[in-house]
Structure 1
Amino acid sequence: MELRPYQQEAEKAVFAKWKKGNKRTLLVLPTGTGKTIVFAKITERCVKNGERVLILAHRAELLEQAADKIKKVTGLKCAVEKAEESCIGSWYRIVVGSVQTMMRQKRLNQFDTDYFDTIIIDEAHHCISDSYQKVIDYFNEAKLLGVTATPDRGDMKNLGKVFESMAYEYSLSLAIKEGFLSPIKAQTIPLKLDLTEVGTQAGDFKTSDLGTALEPYLYQIADEMKKYCDGRKTVVFLPLVKTSQKFCNILNENGFKAAEINGNSDNRSEILNDFNSGKYNVICNSMLLTEGWDCPSVDCVVVLRPTKVRSLYCQMVGRGTRLSPETGKTELLILDFLWHTERHELCRPAHLICENEEVAQKMTENLEASGCPIDIEEAEVQASEDVVVQREEALAKQLSEMKKRKRKLVDPIQFEMSIQAEDLSGYVPAFGWEMSPPTDKQKNALEKLGIMPDEIENSGKAAKILDRLEKRKNEGLTTPKQIRCLEQKGFKHVGTWQFEAASKLIARISANGWRVPNGINPATFNPELGA
């Protein structure tokens, strides 16, 4: 099987990390971009190197999918370590095993601690649990690859305790732009659902409370769905089985062809096949379909299970991100409700693509104000521009207050704004070393290069700025001192200029008694035109 370009890059990146000595690394690929295919090819390469590989997952469906995909992609068969089945004595070099089975001490004792050379964990955001840790610690010499869709920053802080690095990350936004996933539109429904009385359990909203909070709104939600879901194949996620069953009945009362599926459904395969074939146009579930189920023709997702966990939200929306041009699918529509909560931790469509919380909040505000379906890529661009304007206004105010103070160094915020570095201004540390304060060596280097180090809170941010300064030097771009000098004179975004252009202009200003020469308007000056 010929891998897509990003899949090839992902495979190379993982082996590069291992070769470098990072034995525990992460691979992040959005739902629908073929993460199982990628780790199948990685597994094949490991086997060719004479290694034994353990594929670890928390659900039987994921293990079956992994074994099936590995066979299709590589031709290699897998042994199974689950319940009464064991790989002991098998000549297969690949083993798929459930964590519930592998974690048992009696099972682990059957293996030498160096039995597996490599462990690959599917849906790796689950691996911070004690059951996974027990297996990882037992085979502590094995290389470790965690594969997941889109972990949120909360996940990353926890995963950073297990993994040493991120080998490769392919964003949802880039997958859409490159045509590998469906465009996504979000429609905000002006129906305020009150979550103020909903409690928290294990870091997320309590499902029992959510069911109670949702009940009074189910008929109104069904009315809203009639406006937007006509002609679409829709998946609805709800907090409880009884809520899912009740809402399915309400939808059928309102003219939908709806089915409900849960862990106790005897005819799950039949229902899913009927939904896929078009017998039903809506399927309701209580979080059963978040993992291990693919139906590319799904073109509408209704999230009635609000969550604070970005990875869970992405899993729900991911049921509709796959391409299906043969069915006439052109986009995925997300119906987003106005959940009323006193906290600001709720995942919304903006969190699918926005790394920066400030941009996400602005995008959410814009979507709520629009009143119509908006492409989330376009919405993110507009929100980013709006935030830049807000930041520039705030920066202008801050700089005007600082004019009286003579400073030799450039404030890092001014530097980031001038070079238009969204990745720096939106940076959030993930791994342990990144969260520690900047070292004395980093502070001295920053100050020497013209950046005020006092405003930089952590070592990760300091490292990123130093790397950017080195890259800018190699590319012949302006220095922080040039930025400070010229922007004090009113020139805009000097950080995007070439070093030589800035040097010539500073020389002219210097020769003119440190006054801007006549005929030059700093607000509109274009260094390429010289005017």
Structure 2
Amino acid sequence: MSERLLVNSGSETLLKELTNSLETCEKFYFGVAFVNFSGVQLLLDALQKAIESGKQGQVMTSTYLNFTDPVALRRLREFSELDVKVFVTGEQRGFHTKTYIFEYPDVYKIIIGLSNVTHSALKSNVEWNVEVVSKKDMPFTDRVLKEYGLLWEESTPLTEAFIADYERQYEAVRRVSSTQHILKQSGAYVTPNRMQRRAMDNLERLRRLGETKSLVVAATGTGKTFMAAFDVQRVKPKRLLFLVHREDILTKAKETFEFLLHNEPVTFGLLTGTRKEIGADYLFANIRSMANIYQQFSPDEFDYIVYDEAHHAAADQYQEVMTHFTPTFALGMTATPERSDQLSVFELFDHNVAIEVRLHEALEDNLVAPFHYFGITDADGIDLSNLTSKDQKEIARRLQIHARVEHIMHYMNFYGYQGTKRKALGFCVTVEHARYMANEFTARDVPSLALSGDDKPEAREHAIARLEDPDDPLECLFSVDIFNEGVDIPSVNLVLLLRPTESPIVFIQQLGRGLRKHPEKEFLTVLDFIGNYSRAYLVALALNGQRYYDKESLKVAVATDFAHIPGPVHIQMDEISKEQILKQLDQESFFSMAHLKEAYIEFKKVRHGKPPYRLMDYHTYDGAPDPVSFIQKAGSYLHFLHRVEREPFLANLLAEDLWEKAYKVLSSMLPLKRPHEVAILAGLLEQPSMTIEEAILAVEHWIEEVQSESVIHAMNTLAQMYADDGEKSRQPALVQWREDRLVRSDVMEQFITFPTYVTCMEDILEYGLHRFEKEFGAVSDQVPFLHTGTQYQMRDAALLSNFEKSHSSFRGSGLLANGKDYFLFVDLNKDADIDDRLNYQDAFEDQDTFLWESPNNMRQSSERGQNLIHHKNRGYRLHLFVRKYRVMESQTQPFIYMGKVSVESATGDRPVAFRMKMEQPVPPLLYRELTEIV
């Protein structure tokens, strides 16, 4: 007999264990208290394959607490070869069993624990289950099977009549529960969620630093209005102005504030075309009405102003109002921080971002509905392999066949949806394709409409209202791109991706249309029909949710069904799609100019053909390509732009030799490893000199508990104190020390006189700081300034540990030191061309242990050897950095910082073999990425 504890952790989940067992067993027997459709849907493919292969199966569930979902029962009953029964509970006897039994030729695998068949229990909840593998005819096995058999005999066979009767009982209980929930709701009992708390803490920190403006970036439906109301509740301004672009938002915002602040001694009023309640303490106004009368108010009339939909704030009407008022604090909120041609929303709010919440953060914080994504191989006979994104009409023509419609309908019915009515959005290639799909669906009794940019707004709004109406027969809206962004249809429960993925941005926008939370929707179903299109691998980029990726991490993500994505999200691709995408990932060269240029062109398309001249243009889109890869390819972003766009003004801009060198130096700092240097440089664009105290204040905007020695080291770094002679000759100094302050150099003073140069420098600094804040948040300062899981080059360790000699000397050996810090740099797969490293036996023994061999010349008795062996007693810290390969795609790869390690044992000499304990276990997916070949 063997036992194993099963928990939901990374790629190891109960769902994975159940699906694997269904594939390998001979028979299976489930006995669980609750089943709901969110869990059943995840098991559909495994159950279907098991039944098709002739396996016998039983599923027993119960009516206990009326938690079992009638939809789940009905879906299980559709498997005619599956034997399903329901244990009917009473007042005196409940049913709380959770057991999964798998029969093999000689053994039983029995899983007993806490998990029901729900998506949270199978994938994300903290739940323990014990797996016991026991030979047949063992006492434990016999007892389990006997008890299961007794319960099975007591249970009622599942019939349509039983489901109909239970459904009436289930709906009655739900109506009572819903009424009780509404009666219990009160503003006094509503508390901020994690995102709102983080935002409020950062707003408070910024106010302590003397800032008067800040921006919150978060997707629609993530609770920005509640967050603003919570912050107002904390600040308690005498007068508040809440300004919006669209009047339909205004009443909802006012109701939210009234609900949360109902005990506050303030009045609430509206300023619209029909209501002029301007005497209210808290005034909610649309911009058009306020623009007509803002001069009636004194500039300091409002203590706190909220600019909702702040991406509109660059418009003339907004600018007039913003310029007039001087509140104590102004908060901007937006879901889409795309800049206008004149100003960026980041500039308008002094680059102070309280929080940015994009799709995957929203999923992790449970701010949006989770989704179940199914990647399905497209219908037989459809060949898109010789087409590109330019061939839209031909792609649409090849997709408009009856066999594909039947294929889509089959899987749409197989996977189903959650809710009483199907409310689907289908994304098509062209308008003709959308019309074709709407007609074909309608002909097959799924009432549908096609919408395009040619339809009037009133027609679109009417169609959306019909889709949301539970009594209207309309079930599906097909479109090309009008639903990609800016449209809010909360009750959508099914998304059909019927076109090849061309852009991760568009994919995320389309996915996002169904993620708004809604009382009738526990999760969103997404069906993506993946053809043999040459760039099908873009689906992996879109789902991965990490802008900064490499080929290995993407392959592991695909192989593990994207197990790193947080929450009860489910991503599943059939084997054909998975193999196709893995093959394309192997063949694609992510660092080739062809790949980078194609990524740039697709991003430009999303921007309606507008070239992204600024790095910050990439920061405003969830799913945008990583512009640092463009910089690494061409030396700077402007050099890359010039190679792609061939615009004369770019050539002229780069023609000045000194400026070009300085711009390349700034570009090479991206992505920032610490914000100190760039925060100081950004300040020196605004003022000619900076004291140490002023520099500390500048850095405090980006990190907490700033250490003065690190700020001084950053100022010395900028003044080239740690550059070697070659670097000084190649890189113009932008700043220099003058007595006790850092001042602009003559070179920088010259650049300052050219507005275009200043704009380009500001863009690099702004992008670097905002990207750092997005990745790390307002972290505390520390020495060395290292973060587990982050990528670094060897030289970065010199900068981040405040090394006070030439930083270029920090290279070569796999063991480097600065003061009490030792840095171990390890290649896990050795380069056969580097002879002296062939014999190193460096590897992870497990997620907690690393085996490392020292440089060949080290003895245990040496000073370094003793420092490493006795590092705890001598006060030394050992930092481990690893990389899977030294070179990929002809590019030297960075190391990943794994955290601190401690020596458990040391054996041998020249080299010394160390066994080291990780301070933090390696996360399961990263461990797999580093140790396995996919």
Distance 1:472 1:45 in 2: 34
- Conservation of the 8 A alpha-carbon contact between 1:52 and 1:118: yes
Is residue 412 of structure 2 the alignment partner of residue 229 of structure 1? Answer: yes
Is residue 212 of structure 2 the alignment partner of residue 16 of structure 1? Answer: no
1:288-437 correspondence runs (5 A)? 290-291=485-486, 293-296=488-491, 298-300=493-495, 302=497, 310=505, 314-322=508-516, 329-333=522-526, 335=528, 350-351=541-542, 354-359=545-550, 377=565
Q: TM-score, normalised by structure 2?
A: 0.39
Relative distance call for 1:216 and 1:109 in structure 2 (3 A) is: farther
Relative distance call for 1:429 and 1:508 in structure 2 (3 A) is: closer
Q: Give the secondary-structure state (helix, strand or coil) at the position aligned to 1:160.
A: helix
Distance 2:389 2:207 in 1: 47
Distance 1:55 1:215 in 2: 43
- Conservation of the 8 A alpha-carbon contact between 1:183 and 1:375: no
Match of 2:475 in 1: 281
1:38 Cα deviation from its structure 2 partner: 1.4
2:825 aligns with one of 481, 487, 499: 487
1:258 Cα deviation from its structure 2 partner: 2.1
- Conservation of the 8 A alpha-carbon contact between 1:56 and 1:121: yes
Q: Give the secondary-structure state (helix, strand or coil) at the position aligned to 2:307.
A: strand
Match of 1:403 in 2: none
Relative distance call for 1:288 and 1:72 in structure 2 (3 A) is: farther
1:15 maps to amino acid? E
Match of 1:145 in 2: 331
1:120 Cα deviation from its structure 2 partner: 1.8
1:66 aligns with one of 240, 243, 253: 253
Distance 2:196 2:475 in 1: 33
Distance 2:478 2:912 in 1: 56
Which whole-Å deviations, capped at 9, do the CAs of 1:48-68 have from their partners, x for residues lacking one? 3313222323x2332233233
Distance 1:291 1:267 in 2: 16
Distance 1:305 1:21 in 2: 49
Instruction: Count residues in correspondence.
Output: 461
Relative distance call for 1:426 and 1:114 in structure 2 (3 A) is: same
Which whole-Å deviations, capped at 9, do the CAs of 1:467-504 have from their partners, x for residues lacking one? 9995254999995733887438868699x999xxx9xx
Match of 1:395 in 2: none
Q: Give the secondary-structure state (helix, strand or coil) at the position aligned to 1:61.
A: helix
- Conservation of the 8 A alpha-carbon contact between 2:504 and 2:542: no
Q: Which deviates the most, 293-302 or 438-447?
A: 438-447
Match of 2:221 in 1: 32
1:214 Cα deviation from its structure 2 partner: 7.5
1:146 maps to amino acid? G
Gaps of 5+ in 1: 199-209, 392-412, 414-423
Distance 1:154 1:351 in 2: 26
Match of 1:49 in 2: 237
Match of 1:207 in 2: none
- Conservation of the 8 A alpha-carbon contact between 1:119 and 1:145: yes
Relative distance call for 1:197 and 1:171 in structure 2 (3 A) is: closer
- Conservation of the 8 A alpha-carbon contact between 2:500 and 2:531: no
- Conservation of the 8 A alpha-carbon contact between 1:237 and 1:287: no
Relative distance call for 1:353 and 1:486 in structure 2 (3 A) is: closer
- Conservation of the 8 A alpha-carbon contact between 1:257 and 1:280: yes
Match of 2:438 in 1: 248
1:297 Cα deviation from its structure 2 partner: 5.5
2:307 aligns with one of 94, 113, 121: 121
Relative distance call for 1:45 and 1:474 in structure 2 (3 A) is: closer
Which whole-Å deviations, capped at 9, do the CAs of 1:210-230 have from their partners, x for residues lacking one? 8x7886466357556325433
Rg (Cα) greater in structure: 2
Which whole-Å deviations, capped at 9, do the CAs of 1:343-368 have from their partners, x for residues lacking one? x9x99674476343445x8777888x
1:176 aligns with one of 342, 363, 369: 363
Q: Give the secondary-structure state (helix, strand or coil) at the position aligned to 2:513.
A: helix
1:253 Cα deviation from its structure 2 partner: 3.0
Higher strand share: 2
1:287 maps to amino acid? I
Cα root mean square deviation, aligned: 6.1
- Conservation of the 8 A alpha-carbon contact between 1:52 and 1:116: yes
Distance 2:340 2:545 in 1: 15
1:14 Cα deviation from its structure 2 partner: 2.0
Distance 1:348 1:154 in 2: 29
1:133 aligns with one of 298, 311, 319: 319
Which whole-Å deviations, capped at 9, do the CAs of 1:11-68 have from their partners, x for residues lacking one? 232233233222221223344332222123234445x3313222323x2332233233
Distance 1:507 1:293 in 2: 67
1:161-200 correspondence runs (5 A)? 161-163=347-349, 164-180=351-367, 181-185=369-373, 187=375, 192=384, 196-197=389-390
- Conservation of the 8 A alpha-carbon contact between 1:443 and 1:453: no
Distance 2:201 2:907 in 1: 56
Relative distance call for 1:123 and 1:526 in structure 2 (3 A) is: farther
1:135 Cα deviation from its structure 2 partner: 3.0
Point out which structure has higher relative CO (alpha carbons under 8 A, 6+ apart). 1
Match of 1:258 in 2: 448
Match of 2:72 in 1: none
- Conservation of the 8 A alpha-carbon contact between 1:78 and 1:96: no
Q: Give the secondary-structure state (helix, strand or coil) at the position aligned to 1:471.
A: coil
Distance 1:320 1:38 in 2: 22
Q: Give the secondary-structure state (helix, strand or coil) at the position aligned to 1:86.
A: coil
- Conservation of the 8 A alpha-carbon contact between 1:176 and 1:183: no
Q: Give the secondary-structure state (helix, strand or coil) at the position aligned to 1:53.
A: strand
1:444 aligns with one of 708, 716, 734: 716
2:860 aligns with one of 492, 508, 512: 508
Relative distance call for 1:80 and 1:437 in structure 2 (3 A) is: closer
- Conservation of the 8 A alpha-carbon contact between 1:186 and 1:374: no
1:178 Cα deviation from its structure 2 partner: 4.9
1:165 maps to amino acid? N
Distance 2:864 2:562 in 1: 52
Distance 1:297 1:216 in 2: 28
Q: What percentage of residue pairs aligned between the two structures are identical?
A: 16
Q: Give the secondary-structure state (helix, strand or coil) at the position aligned to 1:528.
A: strand
Q: TM-score, normalised by structure 1?
A: 0.63
Relative distance call for 1:260 and 1:168 in structure 2 (3 A) is: same
Distance 2:430 2:491 in 1: 25
Distance 2:529 2:447 in 1: 22
Q: Give the secondary-structure state (helix, strand or coil) at the position aligned to 2:251.
A: helix
1:271 Cα deviation from its structure 2 partner: 0.4
Match of 2:32 in 1: none
Q: Give the secondary-structure state (helix, strand or coil) at the position aligned to 2:477.
A: strand
1:519 aligns with one of 908, 913, 923: 908
Relative distance call for 1:152 and 1:366 in structure 2 (3 A) is: farther
Q: Give the secondary-structure state (helix, strand or coil) at the position aligned to 2:344.
A: helix
Higher helix share: 1
- Conservation of the 8 A alpha-carbon contact between 2:448 and 2:474: yes
Distance 2:915 2:721 in 1: 29
Distance 1:132 1:9 in 2: 28
Which whole-Å deviations, capped at 9, do the CAs of 1:224-266 have from their partners, x for residues lacking one? 6325433234223569988755643343235433245762237
1:130 Cα deviation from its structure 2 partner: 4.2
Which whole-Å deviations, capped at 9, do the CAs of 1:406-440 have from their partners, x for residues lacking one? xxxxxxx9xxxxxxxxxx9866999x966969999
1:161 Cα deviation from its structure 2 partner: 1.8
Match of 2:400 in 1: 219
2:256 maps to amino acid? K
Relative distance call for 1:463 and 1:282 in structure 2 (3 A) is: closer
Distance 1:492 1:472 in 2: 27
Match of 1:396 in 2: none
Relative distance call for 1:474 and 1:16 in structure 2 (3 A) is: closer
Distance 1:528 1:321 in 2: 42
